[in-house]
Structure formats: structure tokens, C-alpha cells
Amino acid sequence: MAEPGGQLSHVGYVALVGRPNVGKSTLLNRILGQKISITTRKPQTTRHQIIGIKTEDDSQVIYVDTPGIHRHGGKAINRAMNRAAHSVFHDVDVVVMIVEGDRWGDEEDMILGYLREVSKPVILAINKVDRIADKEKLLPVLEAHAKRYPFHALVPISARKGNYVDQLESLVTGLLPAAPALFPEDQITDRSERFLAAEIVREKLMRQLGQELPYALTVEIERFQDGPSVIEISALIWVERAAHKSIVIGNQGARLKDVGSQARKDMETMFGKQVFLQLWVKVREGWTDDERALRRFGYGEQG
């Protein structure tokens, strides 16, 4: 039984890194067997470092899901996400770099630049191989990637379907040293329920809205009252413009009501209790390029 301080054969931190929308959060949720990191089809869904802890048998692997690394710094929020992703390279035992098939661009080169600054074993996970019908086409892809960097191993996977994820986990675990357990065996993340609740609301908003607006909104939990059978939550949805507020609310409040209903169901599954959820929308102009506002909303804090 793993308790903090108890010696295990394999214990350590593993970074999941890659460009936006490559499948890092999907992979983390697959490994853990439950959802702790939100996922959408839109890039830059993950904005914070999120830790997922998997303890089994004689190992405890602490996975760090990072924001997607992107070349263009842009606003303060983009720079904060890049810093959160970059900082992890110095703090982990193993790096899993995730790419999509044969796609390789500026973001991947940027990651390799970071990796050359540290001396950590790096496994390259080639994700979404379930979309490649002719598996023989994988061989030249693997050969091309192998020439880019001295990877410890290259593993084709499908995070969505779970293909070869067990092999990836086995490779990762084998690279970790013997050490005392860092977390109780039943703990799966170091993030608070308040944080997870805010992320669930943001996920539902991103799935409902168009391509641009999701990056101009964030969610702040104003009240989280955990009772014996019911959790009462009040959440503020912050947007940058008054026009954005009406988009989030929708016609006669329909969109906000739908987001709240979907988020509440996910929270009840996650927390195992009935949830009473209230959502409010407020405007704070320019918050995505305001360092003070970003600190208030938790950007730059590590998991």
C-alpha cells in the first residue's frame, strides 16, 4: 500500500509536452482511467500545468499535463502558457513528447531546443495512428523522427482509443528510480475541486462557442460550499467585451443554461454528489493581456 514516505521501485515525474491540440490531455485521462484534464477540439484548451497521479503495484508515476507550446507569444496569456510548459523540463525525470503522425513544425523544433538544455530521457509518442489505415506508412515516419533527436524510444499510440498506451506506460515507469511514494495511493491529482469545477465550466463553454471567443474567456469560482450531500458552486465567467457577454449568455439565456446543465452533470460524476451550480458572466476588458488579471485568475501558478 503506497503511503507518502513508503519506498517503491519506481517513483517520479513525467512531463507530457507538445504543440497545442496534439492529444496530451486525452492521453493523461486515458492513462488515469478517468477525466481530470479537459479536452476539446480547439487548440490551447489546457492553460495550466495539471498533475495526474497513477499508483499501482510498486510504482507511482506523476504525469504533468502542460499547455501546448506555440511559437507566437502574442498576449500575456500566451506567454504565461509557454512559461508553464517550458518550466517543467527542469523538474521532471522523464519527458514524453507527443506529435501527430508525420506532422512536424516550428513548435516541435522549439520543444527540441528546450530539451537540449536539459539531460532527461525523452520518449516520442506518435499519436493518432488509428487514423493511418496503411500501417506500413508508419515506418518512414518513425525513421524521419528518429533522425531529429536521440529519443530513448519512439512509440506509435492512439490516446483516444488506447492503442499501445500500455507499452508507453511501461517504458516510462521503467525509467523512474526507486524512491519513497510522494502521494497517497488514492490521490489522482494535486488540483483542488474548485480548480476542477472551473475547468469543467470552461470546457463546456469552449465546446459551445466559435473559434475566437474561447480564448477571451476564463472561469473563476466565487463560491464552493461542500455540504454532506450537495455542493453549492457559484462561478464567474469573465470575458473581454460586452459583445462577448451576450454571446456566452445566448438567446434568452439558452446557451448559458445549456453550459450549466452539462457542467453540473460532469461535476456530479466527478465529485460523487449532487451539485447546485450558478453561473454569472462579467466583463473585464483586456484581461488576456493584463499580468495582474492573469495572476488573479491563477495563470502562472503551477500544479
- 154 and 39 belong to one structural domain: yes
d(CA 62, CA 64): 7
The domain that contains 220 carries what CATH number?
A: 3.30.300.20
C-alpha cell, 51 = 498533475
The domain that contains 16 carries what CATH number?
A: 3.40.50.300
- 202 and 176 belong to one structural domain: no
The verdict on residue 58 lying in a domain is yes
Identify residue 57 by its one-letter amino acid code: D
Residue 46 pLDDT: 55
Residue 81 pLDDT: 58
- Phi and psi at residue 298, in whole multiples of 5°? 90, 5
- 64 and 213 belong to one structural domain: no
The verdict on residue 186 lying in a domain is no
Residue 293 pLDDT: 78
- 91 and 234 belong to one structural domain: no
C-alpha cell, 150 = 536521440
Residue 46's domain spans which residues? 7-180
- The partner residues of 274 in beta bridges, in order of sequence, read 230
Residue 3 pLDDT: 64
- 143 and 214 belong to one structural domain: no
The verdict on residue 36 lying in a domain is yes
Residue 71 pLDDT: 57
Residue 57 pLDDT: 86
C-alpha cell, 301 = 501558478
Contact 238/221 with Cβ under 8 angstroms?
no
The verdict on residue 59 lying in a domain is yes
Question: What Cα–Cα distance (Å) separates residue 77 from each residue in 36, 48, 124, 291, 295?
Answer: 22, 11, 27, 8, 10
- 129 and 263 belong to one structural domain: no
Percent residues over pLDDT 70 in the chain: 84
Number of domains in the chain: 2
- 213 and 165 belong to one structural domain: no
Give pTM, 2 decimals.
0.81
Residue 75 pLDDT: 62
The verdict on residue 303 lying in a domain is no
How many C-beta neighbours within 10 Å does residue 123 have? 19
For 208-225, write each residue's pLDDT tens digit. Answer: 886 656 668 889 999 999
The verdict on residue 302 lying in a domain is no
For the chain, residues with pLDDT lower than 50 are 302-303
Residue 65 pLDDT: 85
Handedness of CA 61, 67, 72, 77 (dihedral sign): negative
